[in-house]
Each structure stands twice: as C-alpha cells, then as structure tokens.
Structure 1
C-alpha cells in the first residue's frame, strides 16, 4: 500500500480523497453506499491510526440513531469493495475500533511486514467478520404467477412497500429496492445472495389472482444454512388494490417482525459469546411468549446484560422499560405506580436520544393511559403510529384508553384495526382481553366471556386474562369453570388479590370507576383471595 496527499492505494484499488471515490485498476468507480464511503474516507484520512468505534458512529451517523450493526455492515461493504486487499489492509481491533494500515509500522503496537501482520501482546486482532449483521434481509421481487401482466405494478408495489416497512423494524438492515430488483425474474440461490450481499435472510414470494381472490405466498430463508425459517400464505378477497396492498404489507411486516426476533434469539442461544444485540433479541423473544413473573424476570436479565455491554443500546433500554410497563399493567405489585414511574423515566430518557422511536412513544402512551393521563397517552400512541403505521399494538393501547376513560363502546373498533394490521400478533391475547373488559363494563357479560376465552386460547401465559375471564364466568353464573380458571391464574401469579386489583385502578374517570365495582364481586365468587 502506498499513499499520497490526495489518494491512498490499497492493492489494485485507489481511495481518491480529492474526488471522494473508490476506483479500481482501470479507473472505474467501485460503488459504495454513502455511509460506507464516509467510514472509508474517515479511516483513509487517519490511515495507520486506530479510529474508535464511537468516533466513527458519531461522525458517520450523527444525524440518526443506529446500532453497531450498521457500522459492521459498512465495514463488510468496504472489505468487499477493496477486494483481495480488504482483509490485510482493514484491521479490526476488538472492542476498540478499526485501522486502515499504511506502509511502515502503524500505531498501537501492530507490526506490518508486506501483507503479513503480526500482533503485539496488547492487541488481539479478529479476522474479518464472517457473521452477517443481525436482522439483515433482502426482499426479492415477488413473482406474478397469475399470468396477468396488468398485475405487475401491484406485485412490484408489494415488494417495494415491504422493503420500506421492514426497515422500520428495530435494528434491521434491509437491502435497498434498486439492488433487490436486479434479481427480478431470475433464479436465485439464497446462500449465494447471502454471501454476495452479506445478509442473513432472504424473503421471497409470489402473488396470484384467481377470480375475485388474491393469494400471496411468502417464505423466509436463512442464507447461512439455506433452510426455511418461516413460510405462510395469505388469501384475501380482491378489493381496492392500494388498500389491499397496504394491509398485506402490514400483515407481512408484523408477522416477520416476530419471526425474525425468534430466529435471532435461536442464533444467540447457540453463540458462545453473545453480544449486546444477541442478548436483546433473547429478551424480546421471551417478552413475546407472554406476561408472567418468570418470563419477565428472564427478559429483564437479558436486557440488563445487553445494556451492560452497550449502555447506549436504545432498543434494549426501551425493551427493559416494557418489562416495567407489563408488571404494572398486570397488577404484579401492591403499588403498580412504582413500575410505571420507572418505565416512564426510562422511556423519557430513551426519547431524548431517539426522539422518533415509535415503540418508546407507544409505551409512554401505555403508561400515561394507565396513570390517569388518557388524552396524552392516546396522543403518544397516535404519534407512534405516525412514525410506524404497522405498530398494531398502539391501536390496542388506544382501545385500552377508551376503556379507562369510560368509552367502552369504542374499544372494539380500535382492536379490530389492530387485528387488521396483525391478525396473529404475539400481543393478541391482550387485545382480546381489552374488548372483554369493555364488554363486561357495559354488562355484556356473555360477550365478554367469549372474548376472554379467545384471549386464553392464543396465550395462557397471562394471569390477568385468567382473572378477568373468571370474573365474567362468575357474573354469568358459571361458578365451577370460574373457580378453575381463577386457580390457573393464581398458579401464574400467587400474590394477586382483590385488594391489589381494587386499589390500583388505572384511571380516575367516574364512569370507569363505577363500572369497575361489579368486577370485585365476580372475583370473590371465583375464589380469588380478598388480600
């Protein structure tokens, strides 16, 4: 490698700082995405010196909040762009940063002799990363297999919108549509795409119209193993195409969010040295399983370990706050406001660093809805939806806000909107419970029984759903089943009492408080301890 004032030569590549380009031996520009070029430019201007990870992140991503995965992805892009010289020239200094090596002896104790680099005792260099960034994915153009070329624009629209919407998933890295569409109509090898683009997952699909129905098939493939992670089929009546496109994309994005979290958590379990992001995904996977003390304690431990490794991990901080929101929401304390206060402080802190974080706004809304500030809480949830239209859980919390403010008749409409976006959501058990509460509050107890039963059918790991179901059963006179359900709830949360439920009302609206009085008798009839 040799350098001049305006350029640095790396093998057969030239980092042209004057023209801000990377060129090959024939003078052709080697494409690099803007952030990757910015990283390379910074390293080139400091060639032979260690540049810390935090400094690179602050310099290159000063305008947005991203995880370290973005830097790892950029480094991978640079190594591939540099070709054969990429591995020996671009050095990784574990937990510290990166160095672009020049002729002679670089700093920090690394000795270079030609292309061979030996390490001094104070530096343990890792090989170029072979693992792909967490949640890295390419959405390949969906195939139009109906034979109607007029549907091409709709099929392409699904692909483009899904690319955009998946990029909203926390911590995701999604290959841009221009690159993805170069594969349109071609036979592809998912493992080869993974190697070429350094992505962990490939999403493929097809759309077919038959008569008055559309059928969409989708499958997610792990590029490292070539195995299918998930596959599903969506059938819908043909309607207004743009509306249907939005709904299909929302459903796919929400389903994939949960599936990708589960897949990343499984990867992390196999890792001998999980990093902060691995630990975050393991905690999120536990949260998706339900709301019990055991699950929440385990999830909280993963988030604490993640934050210990990376105190700036906003996703882990928001997820940790969600643990306290869940503890307060499920009446798992004599004074639930202790948990709500902790969560609110953590969420406000996260929003100072990432003011447009959708889930942080939604969870802050959930806290305020349940602490007597319903209007502000609903506004926070609407803000989260403006930032991420697919955040179905925000509609669920708006429904809860309607219930606590005495507007139970409006709850079901908001929950139906949540289900429209995410019909098989991991949080569906809560949404069913919210409608059940609304029905019970207007004395529609038989309807409430049906909604609570559906809540337990999709997830039994929620003690509060058991207690509400038992209440409704008792109020309609089915005492035997009510007591059985209450016992199952107490097995999940032995400390739950009627007193705890009574003193922790989630709001002060007089209609809500008045309607709530009849629940206490139902809990007594079901055998829940008075406390």
Structure 2
C-alpha cells in the first residue's frame, strides 16, 4: 500500500497589514451609494498607490476593509502612514460624522500562503491590532516595531501588552504617530496629534502591601489581577493588561504621567493593611488627566476570611466602579458644547441609573438614547439603553400599554444580540422581559447565560429571584437576591431587589415581613411608585388600614395613572401559587383604596 504524502503548505515570513473602515455600517445606513463611491475613490487615489509604491500587494478585499502583505515591516508601516495621511487630506473638508477613516493593524509573522489569501496567527494578530487602533491610526506589534524602530519618520507610543480577542498570549503593542517637521527634537510632552485616551479607559495599578507581611503579597497581587480581568468584562471599558500594569509595582508614580504614557483616562490604585486579626483594603479611583480623586472604597475583613473574600471584594469593586465611571463620564458630557453619540449615551444611562423610574424620567432617558442613535445608528450601548427603558416600561406597571413596550424592548435586545451575541447586559434585559411576561423559565435561562458571560452581574441574580416568585416559588427569592447583594451590597438598583423580596413575602403570606422589606426598598429610593403600592397592599393585608391608605396615596402622587386593572393585566403565568399570591395582592390594593381603573 502506497502511503500518501502529507500535504505541504507554502509558508513565508511576511509583514501583514489589516485595515478596516470605522463605523462603515453607520455610513452605509445613512447613504450607501455615496459611501461606496467615496470608499472606492479613496482606495484608488490613496490606498492602492501607497501599497504598490512600497512593494506590497492586496491579498483580499473585505467589503469595508482589506488585507495586504509586504516583504518588509518598514515598507508596510511607510505605506500605512502614506495612505492614512492622504486619506486625511482628502476627507478633511467633509462633515466629521460622514468622513471615511481607516483603522490599521500591522504584524510580522509566519503565514500560510494560498493564491488568493493568507492564513495563520500572524494574520489574526494584525486584524486584532486593527480593531484597537484609533480612527485614522495605526497599531503595530512588537514583531513589527523592532525592525521599524529608527528607520522611519514616525514616533511610537508604547501601549503595553494587550489581551487580544482569541489570541492566547498578550501582544506588546505600539501606536504609530507621524512626526511633524522638527518633531524629533521636541520633548515628549509637546508631541502633536496624539489621539486622546478612550472614553472609558483604565489601568489597575498593583495594590500596595502595607502590612509588612510578605506572605500577603499573593493575596494583594491576586486582587489586582482579578480586578483587571473582571473590569475587562465591562462592555466598552478599555483596561490595560496586567503585565504592563505590574511594571509599576513598588514604584512611586506620577499619576498624570501614567495616564499620558498608557493613554488611559482613569487609574485605580489601592492598598492592603493588616491590623490585629483584621485587614483593610482601600481603593481609590483617580482622574488621570488631573490627578484628582473621584471615588474611594474601603473593606474591613477578618484575617481568617482573607482568601475567601478575594472574589467578593473584586466583584463589589467591579460593580461599583462600573456605575461610577458612567456617572463621571455623564458629568463630562454635560459640559460638552457639541455632544457626540457616546456623550448622549452616558447622560441617558446616568439618568436611568438614578432609578427615577417614573414615566417622566424614563421618557427623558429615552430621549438621550434615541438622540445617540440618531448620531450613530450602530451605537450598541445606546441600543441597550433603549432596551433598559422599554424593559422598565413593560414590566414595572408604569403604563397600560405594557405589551407595546415589551415588544420594543425585545426588538432592541434582538438587534443588540445580532451584533454582539455575548453582550451580558443585553442577555440580562431579554431575560427580564421574558420572565415578566409569562415566560419565566426562558427568562431564567437567559439570566443564567448573562451570569456565565459576566460573573459579577448581580442584577441577573436578583431577577432570577424575581422570576422564581412569578413561578410560584417565592421561598427561593430571598436567597437569589442575597447573592446579588453579596456581589454588590450598595448597588444603585438595591431598591428594586428589596421590593422583589417584599412581593415574595406577600405570596408566602408573611405580611409583616413584607412591610419591612417594602420600607427598606422605599428608604433606598422614594421615587419608585410600585414599591409604595406593594407597601400599601402589605399594610392592608396586615390590618393597618391608615398606613395602607397613606402608602397608596404616596404611590399615586408618583404615578397617578396606576390602577389595579393595570396590575392584573400582565400575563405572568398560570401557576396556582402565583395566582393565589396575586389574588392576595389585589385584595390588599383594593383595601388600600387604590383605584380599580
């Protein structure tokens, strides 16, 4: 038997250039014929001549981008600088939100060569570098930087080691910045044309071990590393890789200089100190542009709980920090004379985060998200904002037309998940909508999937508890909500979670306990109407009629349109335990003199 020879692939070492048009879908959505014509002209007038001049070849076009191969990293970078400069010149007079701009990534690696394509990790790394480049910018790997350094008229900003999607090892990355005349003699601080830091960008500096006990270094470094990993799960947050961050360990640093060198807007720093049988973790969020402290948090724990509490500390910080960054960016956006799409998103999300879930405030938040999408139709986070608003409108008894808002929320979720299938918060939002409208089992499945994507998503744990209440399993609700509080004990949505337990207690006929939980919910947020109506029902069922009427009056002051008919109209499910509990709640609302409608 003749043994078949193994297939031999043609391989070679190449400089790979990957390029892609920024927000191409939005531009095509606005005017596809004009966009296509402009892109064709730029490829013809700027890109193709530069690539040919520097000995490269276009391997393939990808609709809104291309892949090119060069025999030299130097020529690849020179070509990219040439066509990026030319594109800037050709588009400078156009409206800013209609300009075509490329991101470029360059890597040197061994590739498999076929007649009309090239393959391998070298290609994948170039594509991932392109995705993190600034519009009009160029990012290169260290394998391209080493042979290029000192050979071209450009400067380089060290971005540190980047964790690139689907690439096993971190890649040291550099941003290429063209020198202006005489720039070689200028100081670093006067370097022109450096792109600004990404809006949500942060480095977690190694926490300091102030205890004097070297055995605690493992714990201290573990908190730093875990927090870096968990923060990277926050959608839209750019986090400097831990290998770069740890180069600052044990060093006194100038915060502004760190922000400048790493191109980040925020710095998270902290320390761990032991005192007796307890230890204290202090954390501060710093504005890297000004050096000002924006927020601080402290944890005091028993030494015996040291390693058991590491994950809990990280989860609490990740949850709190996400909300804090939204609030800070919203304040920045308010000062902008010409807000862009993300400015409007931050303002809408900050307003929604306040929990003023009355019809008026929900409408205001919706306006911000809608305006953000008008400027950028593929702003995924603004779509999630629409999902949030429609989700509250459809599930929180603030309107009689809940079905329309559920439908709009599901449409928003479907659009987000078509673009970003692993968006944890979109999965969470879809799960809430399903659970609240007669599909609790499906809702729980989506909520569990959201947790698998983001282990710190405390809201998903709380809403699994709420879904269990809708399934007639109210005895399980409190445990799920307690897990949410373990991950985020001072969460901005605590009022909603506490209310979940209040309604679960009513289903269990524990009316006195329900009164206590509803009071805690209202203390956390006095502007949430349904919590007042829950309290009214609990007081009435407990026999405290004056208190019940007062609570109902407070709820109607916040939402005069609320009626018992609206509460009855949502098709939660036909579980006997749920139906019996809902019947009790309706009886309490009647007794509290809430309008029938």
TM-score bin (small chain): 0.7 to 0.9
Offset of residue 473 of structure 1: 1.5
- Which residue in the other structure is 1:270 paired with? 335
CA shift for structure 1 position 338: 1.5
Cα distance in 1 for residues equivalent to 2:579 and 2:572 = 9
> Residue 503 of structure 1: CA displacement?
1.7
| Residue 18 (1) aligns with residue 71 (2) | yes
The answer for the alignment partner of 1:50 in structure 2 is 87
Residue 76 of structure 1, CA deviation? 8.7
Counterpart in 2 of 1:182? 247
2:103/2:136 contact within 8 Å kept: no
CA separation in 2, counterparts of 1:163 and 1:382? 23
Structure 2 contact 206–270 (Cα < 8 Å) conserved: yes
Deviations along 1:212-253, whole A, 9 cap, x unmatched?
323110010111222111011111233454431111000000
What residue ranges of structure 1 are gaps of 5+ in the alignment?
Answer: 8-15, 23-37, 88-98, 103-112, 117-126
User: For the Cα contact (< 8 Å) 1:69–1:134, is it kept in 2?
Assistant: no
Q: 1:393-447: CA deviations, max 9, x gaps?
A: 0001100110000100000000000000000111111110001111111110111
Report the equivalent of 2:517: 451
Q: Is the 8 A contact 1:43 1:100 kept in 2?
A: no
Given that 2:515 and 2:539 are in contact with CA atoms closer than 8 Å, whether structure 1 keeps it comes out as: yes
Q: Residue 257 of structure 1 corresponds to which residue in structure 2?
A: 322
Structure 2 residue aligned with 1:156: 221
Secondary structure, counterpart of 2:308 in structure 1: helix
Task: Tell me what 1:33 maps to.
Answer: none
CA deviation after TM superposition for structure 1 residue 293, in Å: 1.4
The CA RMSD measured in Å over matched residues stands at 3.5
Partner of 2:546: 480
Q: Output aligned runs, 1:287-302, within 5 Å.
A: 287-290=352-355, 291-302=357-368
* CA distance, structure 2, for counterparts of residue 76 and residue 488 of structure 1: 58
Tell me if the contact between 1:49 and 1:100 (Cα under 8 Å) persists in the aligned partners.
Answer: no
Within a 5 Å distance, the mapping from 1:429-444 to structure 2 comes to 429-444=495-510
1:5 and 2:54 matched: yes
Pick aligned residue for 1:217 from 282, 285, 292: 282
Cross-structure match for 1:392 = 458
Task: Indicate how the Cα distance of structure 1 residues 502 and 133 shifts in structure 2: closer, same or farther if over 3 A, else same.
Answer: same
Q: Provide the rounded CA distance (Å) in 1 between the counterparts of 2:131 and 2:292.
A: 23
Q: Which of residues 407, 411, 429 in structure 1 aligns to 2:473?
A: 407
* Alignment length (residue pairs): 474
Q: For the structure 1 residues 76 and 487, does the alpha-carbon distance in structure 2 shift closer, same or farther, using more than 3 Å as the test?
A: farther
**1:480, CA displacement in angstroms?**
2.3
Confirm or deny that 1:232 pairs with 2:290: no
TM-score (norm 2): 0.73
After superposition, give the CA deviation of every residue in 1:362-398 in whole Å (9 maximum; x if it has no partner): 1111111011111111011110111000000000110
String of CA shifts for 1:231-290, please: whole Å, max 9, x gaps.
111112334544311110000000101111100100100111111111111111011111
Q: Distance in 1 between matches of 2:224 and 2:536?
A: 45
User: TM-score, normalized by length of structure 1?
Assistant: 0.81
Give 1:332 shift. 1.7
Q: 1:328 maps to which residue?
A: 394
Q: Distance in 2 between matches of 1:334 and 1:233?
A: 44
Q: After superposition, what is the alpha-carbon deviation per residue over 1:58-110, rounded to whole angstroms, capped at 9, x for unaligned?
A: 999999x99x99443894978xx9999659xxxxxxxxxxx9999xxxxxxxx
The farther-off stretch of 477-486 and 179-188 is 477-486
TM-superposed CA distance for 1:510, in Å, is: 2.4
Residue equivalent to 2:577: 511
**Partner Cα distance (1:146, 1:114) in 2:** 52
Structure label with greater radius of gyration? 2
In structure 1, how many angstroms separate the alpha carbons of the residues matched to 2:420 and 2:411? 14
CA distance in 2, matches of 1:460, 1:222: 32
Contact 1:324–1:343 at 8 Å: present in 2 too?
Answer: yes
Partners of 1:216 and 1:148 in 2: how far apart? Answer: 15
Q: Rate the CA distance shift 1:227–1:519 in 2: closer, same or farther, 3 A.
A: same
Deviation at 1:452, TM superposition (A): 0.8
Q: How has the CA–CA distance of structure 1 residues 57 and 342 changed in structure 2, closer, same or farther, with 3 Å as cutoff?
A: farther
- Measure the CA separation in 2 of the matches of 1:189 and 1:73: 28
* Structure 2 unmatched ranges of 5 or more: 1-49, 57-68, 89-98, 108-122, 156-175, 184-191
